Chain A
């Protein structure tokens, strides 16, 4: 759905650098989710945020990864000191509510390549 914007679409980093991935949810959506997709695998949940709050980060690696969703501006997924295993597609989704059956609208993803 074109309403969820992610940038950059492609990001290349060398090992040890930082990667910042941005997600602008659909207008009026206050719930943001980040997923990671490795080759030949499905999407793996990473973190769920509402404005200024991390609700669940149970899918986030304990180190090097962090996420925020400030009052103003996009949600940011930050990966410090990237390693080759971080290479993946990172998808953001947003929803207007958090109830059973509420649809999550996905962005186009950011493909991170770590050299």
Chain B
């Protein structure tokens, strides 16, 4: 069955700490991968996406993610977090053929202490 697993439900960091949020997926076939962010009181926004090419993807606000096919992983990273990064982060996967259905992980709530 298709699924997305996010390793941590809650993460608390101090400003300037490095961030890595884990994401593993289970999906038969070629996939497209996404990270979305939802700031408090706001809509989901796309942070970055991968569908082909360089497995290291750069997104907005200094975020990046690396697709490791052998590990079925797409971890999100940021070298130095800011208080404004406090939000909920969702990893998502979509099949690359005939597919439109996007499967979301349960989300990780990040709180950055000032």
Residues of A with Cβ closer than 8 Å to B? 1-2, 4, 31, 33, 35, 40-45, 48, 55-56, 58-59, 91, 93, 98, 100-101, 103-104, 106-109
Work out how many contacts link A and B, with CB atoms closer than 8 A: 59
Residues of the B chain whose Cβ atoms lie less than 8 Å from the Cβ of A107:
43
Interface of A is mostly: loop
| Closest CB in chain B relative to A66 CB, distance in Å | 19
Provide the B89-114 mask, 1 if CB < 8 A to any CB of A, else 0: 01010101100111111110000000
A98 and B98 alpha carbons, distance in the complex (Å) = 9
Q: With an 8 A cutoff between CB atoms, is B65 at the interface?
A: no
A71 and B78 alpha carbons, distance in the complex (Å) = 43
A114 and B4 alpha carbons, distance in the complex (Å) = 29
Q: With an 8 A cutoff between CB atoms, is B44 at the interface?
A: yes
A4 and B43 alpha carbons, distance in the complex (Å) = 10
Are the C-beta atoms of B100 and A108 separated by less than 8 Å?
no
| Closest CB in chain B relative to A67 CB, distance in Å | 15
Knowing A40-B106, A42-B107, A100-B32 touch, does A106 contact B44 (C-beta < 8 A)?
yes
